[in-house]
Structure 1
Amino acid sequence: MKSVIYLLIIFTFFQASAQRNYQKSYFKNGQLQSEGWLNQNQKVDYWFYYFENGNKKEEGHYTANKKCKWWIFYKSNEEINKKSEFKNDQLNGYSLFYKKNKLVKAEKYSMGNKIKEWNSISEFKKDNKISF
Structure 2
Amino acid sequence: MLFKTLLCLIGFIYFSQESKIYLREFDDNGNLIAEGWQKGAAKEAYWYYYYPSGSIKAKGSYHNNQKNGYWFYYDSDARLTREGHYDQDQKISWWIVYLSKKQKEKIQYQNNVKEGYGLLYKNEKLIKANRYDQDQLSGSWTNISQFKKDNPNARF
| TM-score, structure 1 as length reference | 0.79
**Separation of aligned partners in 2, 1:114 and 1:75:** 18
Sort the Cα spacing of 1:113 and 1:101 in 2 relative to 1 into closer, same or farther, 3 A: same
Equivalent residue number for residue 29 of structure 1: 53
Matched letter for residue 49 of structure 1: Y
Q: Which runs of 5+ in 1 are unaligned?
A: none
Equivalent residue number for residue 147 of structure 2: 124
Equivalent residue number for residue 29 of structure 2: none
Question: Which residue of 91, 95, 101 corresponds with 1:67?
Answer: 91
Higher relative contact order (CA 8 A, sep 6+): 1
Deviations 1:78-115 (CA, angstroms, capped at 9, x unpaired)? x4410000011100000001122211001111111221
Equivalent residue number for residue 51 of structure 1: 75
Deviations 1:22-57 (CA, angstroms, capped at 9, x unpaired)? 111001111100000011221111100012221211
Give the C-alpha shift of residue 131 in structure 1: 8.8
Aligned-residue sequence identity (percent) comes to 36
* 2:91 and 2:110 in contact (8 A); partners too: yes
Q: Which runs of 5+ in 2 are unaligned?
A: 1-5, 21-38
| TM-score, structure 2 as length reference | 0.68
**Separation of aligned partners in 2, 1:49 and 1:31:** 11
Q: Does 1:98 align with 2:121?
A: yes
Equivalent residue number for residue 82 of structure 1: 105
* 2:96 and 2:107 in contact (8 A); partners too: yes
Sort the Cα spacing of 1:131 and 1:88 in 2 relative to 1 into closer, same or farther, 3 A: closer
Q: CA RMSD in A?
A: 2.6
**Separation of aligned partners in 1, 2:52 and 2:139:** 41
Query: Which has the larger share of helix?
Result: 1
* 1:43 and 1:63 in contact (8 A); partners too: yes
- Secondary structure in 1 matching 2:52: coil
- Secondary structure in 1 matching 2:54: coil
Question: Which residue of 122, 134, 143 corresponds with 1:111?
Answer: 134
